[in-house]
Amino acid sequence: MTTATSSLGSSTIGEIRSTVGMTGTVSVFVGLLILVWPLHSAVAFVWVLAIYAAVVGLLYLALGALAAPLGTGRRIGHLVLGLVFIASAVIAFSNAAYAMQWLVTFFGLFLGIAWILEGIAAITIPTTEDGRSWAILFGMLSVIAGIFLVVSPAWGGLVLWGLFAVWLIVRGSVQVMRARHFEAPEG
């Protein structure tokens, strides 16, 4: 038993076990929801982002309106930022499905371009002879995946959403197993 574990009481170990187990269970549950209802879960995700944007927008508006020590330029900047967040929230609330499609397309294009550039960098940056073939393989895979996302960002986004669901299920399952193996300290 480690020193960190031995300094914890049995009630603390129980709380850690419960928390890790619950977070794992929630992760598995959300992953399964995404796999079973990918579009509905993506729209629900947009709703969560819209609520976040509305709250953040209101906070920036309040900061811009009430924080006189910031100076006029910063206050105006916070007011504008607050309005942008509020407008984004209103758009997302008014048509969550459209907002989800736009978000997936934007994310797919952004990630696709990043992967293409990363692949080109991997191929063109000098490496050792031993690592050259791995750099070329990585670069080619990255460029191919990036082109796939740029050509079809919505389809690529859906594939990534499914992979995210699988990751949540695997991660959650590991968390649940981890929770079962916490030990209470001796003595």
Mention every residue, 6+ apart, whose C-beta is less than 8 A from residue 158. Answer: 38, 104
pLDDT tens per residue across span 89-110: 999 999 998 898 888 888 889 9
Domain that holds residue 110: 3-180
Q: Is 132 a member of any domain?
A: yes
Q: Is 187 a member of any domain?
A: no
Say if residue 187's pLDDT is above 80: no
Alpha helices, DSSP H, located in the chain: 3-6, 10-36, 38-66, 72-94, 96-124, 129-151, 153-180
pLDDT score of 164: 92
Domain count, the chain: 1
d(CA 96, CA 87): 13
Q: Is 31 a member of any domain?
A: yes
Q: Is 58 a member of any domain?
A: yes
pLDDT score of 1: 47
Q: Is 185 a member of any domain?
A: no
- Calculate what percentage of the chain has a pLDDT beyond 90: 55
pLDDT tens per residue across span 30-74: 999 999 999 899 899 999 999 999 999 999 999 999 987 888 898
Q: What distances in angstroms separate CA 187 from CA 3, 93, 184, one per listed residue?
A: 13, 56, 9
What residue has token string 């968390």? 175
* CA nearest neighbour of 86 among 55, 45, 47, 62: 55
Q: Is 186 a member of any domain?
A: no
